[in-house]
Structure 1
Amino acid sequence: MASSQRYYHITTFGCQMNKADSERMAGILENMGFIWSGDPDNADLILYNTCTIRDNAEQKVYSYLGRQSKRKHQNPSLTLVISGCVAQQEGQKILRRVPELDLVMGPQHANRLEDLLQQVFDGNQVVVTEPIHIVEDITKPCRESAITAWVNIIYGCNERCTYCVVPNVRGVEQSRTSQEILREIKVLGQQGYKEVTLLGQNIDAYGRDLPGAVETGRYRHTLTDLLYTIHDVPGIERIRFATSHPRYFTERLIVACQELSKVCEHFHIPFQSGDNEILKAMKRGYTQEKYHRIISNIRDRMPDASISADAIVGFPGETEKQFEKTLKLVADIGFDQLNTAAYSPRPGTPAALWENQLSEDVKSERLQRLNHLVAQKATERSQRYLGRIEKVLVEGQNPQDKTQLMGRTQGNRLTFFRGNINQLKGQIVEVKITEARAFSLTGNLA
């Protein structure tokens, strides 16, 4: 093996935004001549793209770093990089814990990876966490899929939810212009991508910060306007978006999703708690009644739409009665999918300092009860697919059973069926559903 070959490995923790950032950083590394290695122990450069939304994700990063730090003592030419939200949150402090790190970089600096590595190769230990205006997305991502692609449309978040560390680590909202987004999606269409997912920490805030945003009492560049702008891009057959905020979710957006045939009938709208007092303490800016109205409006227009959400149990001060309101909301709405978590105090957030923290036992018992209900309701929701013919975008083979292909319905249900991957990859096929589980389906080609 020629010694001039340099290998890199990226491990990604956390959200879709992080996955998109990792793809961009992989693209930069490949442009620099690095080659991907699936084995971190065979890599000359290791990058951990981190998440700080919960404590366990953060602790996992430190255990991974510990192993590679030891390796660096045997092999000083190993380059160790930590990026993402833990890097932003800890900054210089992380070097006291892991002095072997070469580069510590916040998520806003993902596009600058080449320049920053150049400083490392010149012999410097580099920490960059200062807020910057994110340079337009000129990097060519090394995308994991050749069929579906992430497209960032807004970075950062201006909300101040009392439990959430994201605004501290991802900075203020910065929207990309619709021209730039359209240009990126056109290229994806030309490259054979069939589906794009528009990403934003708070995607409904898109466009509020763009020049000339307000005109005659309404925002001119909203997510709804953007959907109309990109809808007819040749080659792109499906459009998704995430994550929505109930405070800003509009009737106009629902109408657009109903009118635009390429926009998938799938909404990810976190509610976090079913109790108004807890929502107020979280500073979420809406009530559970408003949340119910949003879902009713969606289902009035699109009865079959899939609804997914996020919920937190065990928020400081949450009583059993308040938790039961969350259970009631989940039972009443019947989500297709729900990401659940026990509250985890995060550095620099108001709720972490409150004295009314709940015990880990109470949090984990509530989480178990909620998860049991979620699986039950998702199984019920899944039954509507039985016997139906669903359009499925073929993404690849089932890793557990190579004789099966897998893809997603418009409503984002993972679906397995037999077929020839070479003939069908990237195609939208019709599948008759024969089996419905809580979070996935099985069927036969129709």
Structure 2
Amino acid sequence: MSTPRRYHITTFGCQMNKADSERMAGILEDLGYIWSEEANDADLVLYNTCTIRDNAEQKVYSYLGRQAERKRQQPDLTLIVAGCVAQQEGESLLRRVPELDLVMGPQHANRLADLLTQVEAGSQVVATEEVEIAEDITQPRRDSTITAWVNVIYGCNERCTYCVVPNVRGREQSREPAAIRAEIEQLAAQGYREITLLGQNIDAYGRDLPGSTPEGRHLHTLTDLLYYVHDVPGIERIRFATSHPRYFTERLIRACAELPKVCEYFHIPFQSGDNDVLKAMARGYTVERYLRIVEQIREIIPDAAISADAIVAFPGETEEQFENTLKLVEQVGFDLVNTAAYSPRPGTPAANAPDQLSEEVKQDRLQRLNHLVAQMAADRSQRYLGRTEEVLIEATNPRNPQQVMGRTRTNRLVFCDGTIAQLEGQLVPVRITETRAFSLTGQILSPVAAGC
């Protein structure tokens, strides 16, 4: 009896990539592969890559070099690059790393089994052509048994001048509402408590699906989808990401206020606090428009958490323009901002802009923004002190095995004493006793904690 082949997947980048990796892992396990924690012990190594920033891309090449060397000693090793670097580089990856067996873009994640059949027949395969993404019938090997990603729209039609995503993930393709609901019902039957609806630009959901009202409104919007999936029994929490200020609506905020399972948490990137920089980025909104969205959220759901993404040192950004970003962060008081220094990406207009800023300026501005973000997040955390928050317990605290950890509805990480065997997957009331910028500590008030 032959030993089962082992596989290892390393994932770089965003939530979409994590969801893709879970689906590809599910396909491999259906083919009889078993998971290997260590890449060096695996017979198939897959790197699911990200090209948003140069450092993520360079890390991939470093990892790949080590496995290519291993393959020269072990020709039976199957070596795969998937995701955005694969889509961007295509055949040139084979010239750079001839040991590769398969180069596949993100649109081909569901086709992994077919592509491996070609590899096993002796072909070196490049799959980067644009395809219709077939309805997802794979069974993902999910990293969590409590929370799950559910893709609702693939691709992106925006043309932000710094961003390579539309080039590598293709045009927007929305899944049918019935297929999304069926996946959520299956997750509920498997015991999942929380789902996150995912899209590169989730507010665009449905605009490519057929059907609209006589007034011209699409029948399928993200808001409609939330109403449609909200009542699936067993699912206690619903989140969604990532929003785009250009398409974000008051109707969506009101739906979140009205639907008890939808969490009071919004992730809405602003990218810059300066209108001229936003225009150069082709973001399609102004700072004033962004602030109106924040105002509406705080008016309708006062305790909602708001997080965002921001880029510093975009080509040509002046010190004054950067300070406008600092002002916006201070004015809004975000719960979290994911920050990055601008990184030129191949094939994007901004990469060819003449006024690129130095690494010194990038690092200085990034450090200053991060300092302010942490300060504002610590201020926002203060409001939880002494409050009782509903926390969904997900795992043991990796730094303290006496503690479990989970998240509030507003997505704050919470640590508390307890054992995962008793508490995993439970929604428990936790009185917050300590606050930090990005996490909280508390005490479980539920009777279930008595034996902890």
**TM-score, normalization by structure 1:** 0.99
Tell me which amino acid in the other structure corresponds to 2:207: R
Report matched runs for 1:25-424 at 5 Å. 25-213=24-212, 215-424=214-423
* Structure 1 residue 420: Cα displacement: 2.4
* Structure 1 residue 5: Cα displacement: 1.5
Could you say what secondary structure the match of 2:256 adopts? helix
Equivalent-residue separation in structure 1 for 2:300 and 2:50 (angstroms): 36
Equivalent-residue separation in structure 2 for 1:259 and 1:212 (angstroms): 25
Equivalent-residue separation in structure 2 for 1:278 and 1:326 (angstroms): 10
The alignment yields a C-alpha RMSD, in angstroms, of 0.7
Equivalent-residue separation in structure 1 for 2:88 and 2:212 (angstroms): 31
Could you say what secondary structure the match of 2:24 adopts? helix
Equivalent-residue separation in structure 1 for 2:181 and 2:40 (angstroms): 40
Equivalent-residue separation in structure 1 for 2:210 and 2:291 (angstroms): 34
Question: Any unmatched runs of 5+ in structure 1?
Answer: none
Q: Which runs of 4+ in 1 moved over 3 A?
A: none
Equivalent-residue separation in structure 2 for 1:223 and 1:376 (angstroms): 33
Equivalent-residue separation in structure 2 for 1:188 and 1:208 (angstroms): 26
Tell me which amino acid in the other structure corresponds to 1:238: R
Tell me which amino acid in the other structure corresponds to 2:414: T
Equivalent-residue separation in structure 2 for 1:283 and 1:356 (angstroms): 17
Percent same amino acid at aligned positions? 73
Cα 1:75/1:315, change in 2 over 3 Å: same
* Structure 1 residue 4: Cα displacement: 2.6
Equivalent-residue separation in structure 2 for 1:152 and 1:421 (angstroms): 28
* Structure 1 residue 421: Cα displacement: 1.4
Cα 1:213/1:131, change in 2 over 3 Å: farther
Contact kept? 2:396, 2:419, Cα under 8 Å: no
Equivalent-residue separation in structure 1 for 2:416 and 2:230 (angstroms): 29
Could you say what secondary structure the match of 2:59 adopts? helix
* Structure 1 residue 219: Cα displacement: 1.4
Contact kept? 1:207, 1:213, Cα under 8 Å: no
Q: Deviations over 1:137-191 (max 9, x none)?
A: 1000000000000000000000000000000000000000000000000111111
Q: Deviations over 1:215-245 (max 9, x none)?
A: 4221110000000000000000000000000
Contact kept? 1:58, 1:86, Cα under 8 Å: yes
Q: Deviations over 1:184-216 (max 9, x none)?
A: 001111110000000000000000000124542
Contact kept? 1:119, 1:126, Cα under 8 Å: yes
Equivalent-residue separation in structure 2 for 1:102 and 1:215 (angstroms): 51
**TM-score, normalization by structure 2:** 0.98
Q: How many residues align?
A: 445
Q: Deviations over 1:260-310 (max 9, x none)?
A: 000000000000000000000000000000000000000001111000000
* Structure 1 residue 26: Cα displacement: 0.2
Equivalent-residue separation in structure 1 for 2:223 and 2:360 (angstroms): 43
Contact kept? 2:86, 2:103, Cα under 8 Å: yes
